[in-house]
Amino acid sequence: MFAPDGHMCFNAMRRNRSKFVSPSFQAATSEEKSAAYDSYIGYCGRYEVNEQERSIVMQFELSSFPNWTGTTQNRFVDVTGTRLRISTPPRLSEGKEIVNTILWERGK
């Protein structure tokens, strides 16, 4: 979600995540917590659009990945019709160069 006031929020998770055995998240096992963390990413904060560079600068105020909280990150943007494609700059991960891409579609 990108709000007109410059705030954004992103949450994504795998489908069919396993439920915890206990109805209380505080009583979850270490394995259940690990599986839940490994299948979810979320962050929110402020954003600014740079139309000339076709990019978005996001200031993460909160993130499920603690290392991103308080950071500023750049993403590249491509808009086609009702679709918005947001991609990270290339980065090394386990010796391979990767680009993460999220495809958004405007709600009706």
At 26-59, the pLDDT tens digits run: 899 999 999 999 999 999 999 999 999 999 999 9
What's the burial of 60, exposed, middle or buried (CB within 10 Å: 0-12/13-18/19+)? buried
pTM here is 0.81
User: CA 108 to CA 102: how far, in whole Å?
Assistant: 19
Above pLDDT 70, what percent of the chain? 100
Tokens of 95: 């010796």
Spatial separation of the C-alpha atoms in residues 24 and 33, rounded to whole Å = 12
The rounded distance, in Å, linking the Cα atoms of 49 and 75 is 10
